[in-house]
Amino acid sequence: MGPYLLGLRLSGRRVLVVGGGRVAQRRVPALLEAGAEVTVVSPGVTPALDDLIAAGRVTWHARPYEVGDCDGAWLVQACTDDRAVNTAVAAEAEAKRVWCVRADDKDASAAWTPATGRVDEISVAVTAGGDPRRAAGIRDAVVGALRDGTVDARRNRTKPVGVALVGGGPGDPGLITVRGRQLLAQADVVVADRLAPRALLDELAPDVELIDAAKVPYGRALSQETISELLVDRARQGKFVVRLKGGDPFVFGRGGEEMIACAHAGIPVLVVPGITSAVAVPAAAGVPVTHRGVSQEFHVISVHVAPDDPKSTVDWPAMARSQGTLVLLMAVERLAKVAEALVRDGRAPETPVMVVQDGTLPTQRAVTASLSTVADRVSAAGIRPPAIVVVGDVVRVGQEVEMVRAERLP
């Protein structure tokens, strides 16, 4: 027959664990999280258990099991690698009407330890006929679905209120944070940027209001004032609003302006950081923005205006003198002027440059050149925004990796 599942509330109750090996090492932390008073009986213990004992969280009797050890226990775990010892422990527990879990024999065990997981206030426990690997796999699938909202998160009575500024990451929908995806699944309204991971929008429920806040370069755009007004308006209607952005909300994402607008209106705001494309896209192209002995600093620069534009606040001469990596966003249309300014102010014309379009997406492609040639190479290749420009010797590190890989191919 199948087991009768219960959620044991072990706070303040004694639990006996016989054995101090790897199985006990897995079981004890979960028992402690449930508030149990854990006693371990074993001649030796693993370093992880020893650490818990040293911290005073576990009582340890450094000796073999003895009859009488089960006295006063509410639950017993027989976790030794000696079948005879486990049998003796289980027999004593059975005689004293104490539930005992045997790690070595599911059929002889009076109880099974389920594979467990927790998401917020929801606990998940899975038994699969005593098969721990299968139970863990099912547990992982259920917990994952709860975390990303696949399992009807919108029916939660305590769903968030106000506005969440969610960073969607560099483009690949798999690179949004777990928290971001969870909140997206709970949204009543989603206000999405052009660079937000669009594939995630297909997962929204049919009744979710989707507002396109795309700002197309040199094309149509919803003003920032209008976007802020929409966030406040929908939140005041009692709806939970997710402002879904590409990258991170506070890295050239104007998230600070939206947060201030909501604060003035008395709307609560939750900020969920995202993986910024300034770091993720070079990584996806095999280029580290820092590398020992090459660059110990990097600068992230918005090039929405050219270096010679009066509205530019970037100290381009300082950037040219710097030995660090330069990561340029929104730079493709002004790349010739940027390269000219950097060379004029001291960067070597042969400094390597990589331009990556559609980073982390299946359409990703990259062009490598030098400062003196990059503008022409990008134009000839037809590279268009969104693209990230990386300037510095770290580009050669990526090239070195590719050369090593090529040499190892059969």
Provide the CA 138 distance to its chain's centre, in angstroms.
21
Cβ atoms of 38 and 58 closer than 8 Å: yes
Q: Cis (ω within 30 of 0) for the bond into 362?
A: no
The one-letter amino acid code at 309 reads D
Strand order in the sheet with 37-41: 59-61, 37-41, 14-18, 75-78, 99-102
Q: Is 104 in the active site?
A: no
Q: Which two tokens stand for residue 328?
A: 């340029």
Q: How far apart are CA 69 and CA 91, in angstroms?
A: 12
Q: How far apart are CA 179 and CA 132, in angstroms?
A: 28
Cβ atoms of 338 and 331 closer than 8 Å: yes
Cβ atoms of 209 and 241 closer than 8 Å: no
Q: Which two tokens stand for residue 206?
A: 């049919």
Residue 10, by phi and psi: left (phi above 0), alpha (psi -120 to 50) or beta? alpha
Q: How far apart are CA 265 and CA 284, in angstroms?
A: 40
- Would you call 61 helix, strand, or coil by DSSP? strand
- Would you call 16 helix, strand, or coil by DSSP? strand
Q: How far apart are CA 269 and CA 288, in angstroms?
A: 33
Provide the CA 303 distance to its chain's centre, in angstroms.
29
Out of 96, 106, 159, 215, which one is annotated catalytic? Answer: 215
Residue 336 CA: distances (Å) to CA of 312, 343, 379, 386: 16, 11, 10, 17
Out of 104, 148, 193, 358, which one is annotated catalytic? Answer: 193
Cβ atoms of 178 and 149 closer than 8 Å: no
- Would you call 106 helix, strand, or coil by DSSP? coil
Cβ atoms of 360 and 291 closer than 8 Å: no
Helices (H) and strands (E) in the chain, counts: 12, 17
Strands 115-119, 122-126: parallel, antiparallel or unpaired by DSSP? antiparallel
Give the CA angle between residues 346, 348, 353 to the nearest 5°.
120
Q: Is 233 in the active site?
A: no
Residues involved in catalysis = 193, 215
